Amino acid sequence: MVSARVKGAMGLIARLLVATALIVWVLRKANLRSVLETLASAHLWAIVVSIILMFLSVVVRAWKWQIFLRADGIEFPLSKLNMLYMVGTFFSTFLPTGVGGDIKRVYDLATLTSRRAAALASVLMDRGTAMYTMLVYATIVILARWELLGGALVCAPFLAASLAVIVGAPLAIVLAPRLTRRKIPLVPHSVMQKMDNFSSTLSRLARKPSALVFGLASSVVCAVLVVALYWAIIRGLGLAVSLEAVIVVVPLVVAITMLPISINGIGLREGAFLYFLSRYGVSSSDAIAVSFAVFAVIVGFGLLGGVVFIFEGLRKSNNPNREGFLP
C-alpha cells in the first residue's frame, strides 16, 4: 500500500509536470522577445496601483474573516487578522499548493484561540464565499458570452462544473453534520468526533444570515478589486484591450487557476489568458505578457507578506513574552 507521503510526492510531481508542459506549450504560441519587450515597457504607476489594490483586497478579506469569527463568538482585532492574511499570501505564493496560506492562517488562529474547529471553519467560510462568488460571476459571463467564448465545446463543461459546485457546496455544508454523526466502523470514534465538531461549526456559521450576506457582499467587492487590478496591469502595459474583455476574462481565469492540477495555477493562468483574450483579438504575445505581469505582481505581494512574517518573528524572538499574532 502506498503511503500518504509517497502519494503526496507523486501528486506534487504530477502537478509540476502539468505546469511545465503548459508553460512550454504557451511559450511556443508566443514570441518571447515580444513578451519581454511588452513587460519592459510597463509603467511604474501600474505596479503601484496593483499593489494598492491587492492590499485593499486583503483588508476586505480580513474584515470578512473577522465577521465570521465574531459570528462564532471569537473577537479578534482587524489589524492582527490583516497581518495573518499578509503572511498567508506569502505561504500561498511560495508553497507548491494554492492552500498553503489558508493552512497557515488556520494554524496561527488555532494556536492563539485553542479552537481548531472554529479556526478551520472561519477560514473555509472566508475562502469558500470568495470562490463561490467568483464561480457565480464566471457562470454569468459564460451565459452572456457563450458563442464568443467558444460555444458548447468550451463553455458546456465549464458551466456544468460551476453549477455543480454552486449547487453542491451549500448542500454539502447542510448535510455534513448528519453524516459525521454516524458511526463508521473503520474510522475511530475520536476522529468522527473532531469531524462532527468541525462540520457542526461550519454549518452553524453558514446559517448566520448577517455573516453570510456580509461574506458574499464583501466577496463581490473583492471580485471588483481583482478586475480593477487586472485592468490596471493591462493599461500599464499599454495594451489595447477593452474593458469588456477584462470583465469577461478575469473570472474565467481565476476559476481555472483554482483547479488543483498545477502548482499555484502556473501554466493554467497563462493558457487561460492565451485562449480567452484571443477571443477578443489580443495577440498571443500580449496575452502571455499580461499573464506574466499578473504573476509578477502576485509574487511581489507575496514577498511583502514574507517581510511581515520575518519582521514579526524577529520581534517575538527579541521579546518572547510579547503577545504576538504568530505562535
From start to end of the chain, where are the E strands?
none
- The pLDDT of 71-79, averaged and rounded, is 88
What whole-number distance in Å separates Cα of residue 158 and Cα of residue 9?
29
Per-residue 3-state assignment (H helix, E strand, C coil) for 85-128: HHHHHHHHHHCCCCCHHHHHHHHHHHHHHCCHHHHHHHHHHHHH
Name residue 130's amino acid: A
Nearest to 86 by CA among 327, 292, 256, 325: 325
Which has the minimum average pLDDT: 98-102, 119-123, 240-244?
98-102
- Tell me the C-alpha to C-alpha distance, in Å, between residue 138 and each of 51, 162, 230: 24, 8, 16
In the predicted structure, residue 163 carries a pLDDT above the cut 70:
yes
In the predicted structure, residue 322 carries a pLDDT above the cut 60:
no
Which has the minimum average pLDDT: 145-149, 190-194, 246-250?
190-194
What are the boundaries of each domain within the chain?
39-181+188-318
| Kind and range of the H or E run holding 84 | helix 78-94
Which has the minimum average pLDDT: 115-129, 217-231, 268-282?
115-129
What whole-number distance in Å separates Cα of residue 1 and Cα of residue 250?
42
Instruction: Kindly report the average pLDDT of the chain as a whole number.
Output: 84
- The pLDDT of 30-51, averaged and rounded, is 90
In the predicted structure, residue 320 carries a pLDDT above the cut 60:
no
pLDDT at 327: 43
* Burial class of residue 191 (count of CB atoms within 10 Å of its CB; 0-12, 13-18, 19+): exposed
Residues 220-267: tens digit of each pLDDT: 999 999 999 999 999 999 998 999 999 999 999 998 888 777 777 888
What whole-number distance in Å separates Cα of residue 172 and Cα of residue 165?
10
> What are the CB-based long-range contacts (under 8 Å, 24+) for 319-326?
325/80, 325/83, 325/84, 325/108, 325/112, 326/84, 326/87, 326/108
The answer to whether 229 touches 210, Cβ cutoff 8 Å, is no
In the predicted structure, residue 128 carries a pLDDT above the cut 80:
yes
In the predicted structure, residue 294 carries a pLDDT above the cut 80:
yes
Q: Which one has a higher pLDDT value, 44 or 319?
A: 44
SS3 188: coil
- The pLDDT of 104-111, averaged and rounded, is 88
C-alpha cell at 230: 487586472
What whole-number distance in Å separates Cα of residue 76 and Cα of residue 69?
8
Q: How many helices (H) and strands (E) does the chain have?
A: 12, 0
Nearest to 119 by CA among 106, 132, 131: 106
Q: Which one has a higher pLDDT value, 34 or 202?
A: 34
What whole-number distance in Å separates Cα of residue 282 and Cα of residue 30?
12
pTM of the model: 0.85
Name the CA radius of gyration of the chain, rounded: 21
CB atoms within 10 A of CB 29: 16
- Give the chain's length: 327
The DSSP code for 27 is H
pLDDT at 171: 83
pLDDT at 15: 78
- The pLDDT of 291-317, averaged and rounded, is 84
Q: How far from the centroid of its chain's Cα atoms is residue 178's Cα?
A: 29
In the predicted structure, residue 316 carries a pLDDT above the cut 60:
yes
* Burial class of residue 105 (count of CB atoms within 10 Å of its CB; 0-12, 13-18, 19+): buried
The answer to whether 90 touches 306, Cβ cutoff 8 Å, is yes
DSSP letters for 271-305? HHHHHHHHTTT--HHHHHHHHHHHHHHHHHHHHHH
What whole-number distance in Å separates Cα of residue 16 and Cα of residue 264?
10
Residues 11-35: tens digit of each pLDDT: 777 777 877 887 888 878 888 888 8
